[in-house]
Structure 1
Amino acid sequence: MIPTYNERESLPRTIAAVHRFVPAAHVLVVDDGSPDGTADWTAEQAEHDERIHLLRRTEKNGLGAAYLAGFAWALERDYPVICEMDADGSHRGRDLPQLLAAIADGADLAIGARWVPGGAVVNWPLNRQLLSRGANVYVNAAIGLGVHDATAGFRAYRREVLSAIDLQAVRSQGYGFQIDLTLRTARAGFAIAEVPIVFVEREYGESKMSGNIIQEAFVNVAKWGAAERARRVRAALARRS
């Protein structure tokens, strides 16, 4: 699943890379009404390639909503593994087989991680690196997930995970969405693996990151952390009684 908004330049390269390394993969493009023709190009490709699919959304309602729409589409069609990645080239098709291998080895969620041994970022500004690293330190301090890259958007889920967690209750966007799904996956008792990847700064288009997305994630993580600590206290008290 690849969410898009004005990714006409980069999307063809991204899909080609996916099919170069995982030829049988089906690709769902979830487009939020891109004015640059992203959806039209995808529709043309889908006419002669059964591996390419398009889900048109009429307006830009946020990244989290696009992910949820794509998850629902894939679950309805019984795909056993559902992956997500960006269209801008920052997530490399050559790393996708590693995520699928982690699922085959028993992981329920495989995260393409930058901040683990073997992971790396290329051409990423220092301020973005500090923001990402700092966000993950904050997540672990607040919630205690034990995941090095909970904000990463290059992932593979076993369908059972997305079927089991309450996707209808998810309201987060951006950074917050990835953290939210990671937390829900861990709470449900599923196995999470982090696979080192190389993250490459986008060559085309503009970042969708905004101050509102960062603020939302900061506030939500504080709430989730408080709720998680309360849950652990209740569980400890229940065991003692």
Structure 2
Amino acid sequence: MARQNTVHAAAAVLVVVPTYNERENLATLAPRILAQGEQFHLLVVDDDSPDGTGPLADELAAADPRVRVLHRASKGGLGPAYIAGLTTGMKRGFDYLVTMDADHSHDPADLPRLLAATHDARADVALGSRWTAGGSTRGWPLRRRVLSRGGSAYVRLVLGVDLRDATAGFKCIRASALAALEIDTIGSSGYAFNIELNYRATLRGFRIVEVPIVFTERITGASKMSGRIVAEALLRVPALRTTSLRPLADVRPLADARPT
């Protein structure tokens, strides 16, 4: 891994992590992200967490110049938090932007692999995929695995997107591609944001690769998933069909990705 990080040392990568009551997780997640290489920076987007996540993020930022904090006035949803963080990253001139959960379900050790898929394999978007060959979940009950697989199948059926993990939220995006996605117009507020962003990337004709990951159930804290969030995703997906119809992206497994 050290060799891989050296190869990509010239690339500036901003990892955007939205938080709400994730103090305990952030304390251990932040150093693991920064340990992946000097090119990785962290932006914590905190929604005024009552558990003190925001002040902890400020402490981390004071101790390391690669950590930044964006404080939002209230809990406003995953989508708006990501939009705020990604917009900040583009304005600051980062080469690649990463979206990542705060609860350790996404392994920071996979960051160099996602970066390699975009930096070396010339993909526009690299998705950390649970359901492509080699991907899996750990600690999930059968009900949740069925829900996740079913959600991706639903997105593929309705939107015609050939992604095994169409709801994936762990992704690395080339900044030039992200700028073309007009993320400030994305209307999804919950986890449907991930679907809408992935769909927009395919509509723009961007090259997407799915990188297999192991998704681990959170150990501490409470899940933000709710019935309202699931309902939003179910209703939002058909509405996305009215988006501008453009050629779908060249979506292929990482093993087939080749530099151009």
When normalised by structure 1's length, the TM-score is: 0.92
For 1:67, the equivalent position in structure 2 comes to 82
Q: Distance in 2 between the 1:228 and 1:122 partners?
A: 37
Q: Deviations over 1:59-88 (max 9, x none)?
A: 001000000000111011000000011111
- Structure 1 residue aligned with 2:178, among 162, 165, 168? 162
Structure 1 residues 230 and 70 mapped into 2: Cα distance closer, same or farther (>3 Å)? closer
8 Å CA contact 1:108–1:192 kept in 2: the answer is yes
Q: Deviations over 1:137-182 (max 9, x none)?
A: 0000111110111211111010012211121210102331111011
Instruction: Say whether residues 1:116 and 2:132 are aligned partners.
Output: yes
Structure 1 segments, 4+ long, off by >3 Å, are: 225-232
Q: Distance in 1 between the 2:93 and 2:122 partners?
A: 19
8 Å CA contact 2:203–2:245 kept in 1: the answer is no
Structure 1 residues 175 and 52 mapped into 2: Cα distance closer, same or farther (>3 Å)? same
8 Å CA contact 1:7–1:87 kept in 2: the answer is yes
When normalised by structure 2's length, the TM-score is: 0.85
- Structure 1 residue aligned with 2:225, among 192, 205, 209? 209
Q: Distance in 1 between the 2:245 and 2:80 partners?
A: 28
For 2:9, the equivalent position in structure 1 comes to none
Q: Distance in 1 between the 2:113 and 2:123 partners?
A: 12
Instruction: Say whether residues 1:45 and 2:63 are aligned partners.
Output: no
Q: Distance in 1 between the 2:245 and 2:200 partners?
A: 15
Instruction: Say whether residues 1:179 and 2:195 are aligned partners.
Output: yes
Displacement of 1:113: 0.3
The alignment's C-alpha RMSD in Å is 1.7
Displacement of 1:95: 0.8
- Which sections of structure 1, spanning at least 5 residues, go unmatched? 233-241
Displacement of 1:229: 7.6
Q: Distance in 2 between the 1:55 and 1:113 partners?
A: 27
Secondary structure in structure 1 of the residue aligned to 2:191 = helix
Secondary structure in structure 2 of the residue aligned to 1:222 = helix
Displacement of 1:227: 5.5
More deviation in 210-219 or 133-142? 210-219
8 Å CA contact 1:63–1:173 kept in 2: the answer is yes
Structure 1 residues 177 and 42 mapped into 2: Cα distance closer, same or farther (>3 Å)? same
Paired residues in the alignment total 232
Structure 1 residues 43 and 218 mapped into 2: Cα distance closer, same or farther (>3 Å)? same
Structure 1 residues 19 and 216 mapped into 2: Cα distance closer, same or farther (>3 Å)? same
Q: Distance in 2 between the 1:157 and 1:230 partners?
A: 19
The structure that is helix-richer by fraction is 1
For 1:239, the equivalent position in structure 2 comes to none
- Structure 2 residue aligned with 1:15, among 30, 41, 58? 30
Q: Distance in 2 between the 1:175 and 1:132 partners?
A: 12
Displacement of 1:23: 3.6
User: Could you say which structure has the larger radius of gyration?
Assistant: 1
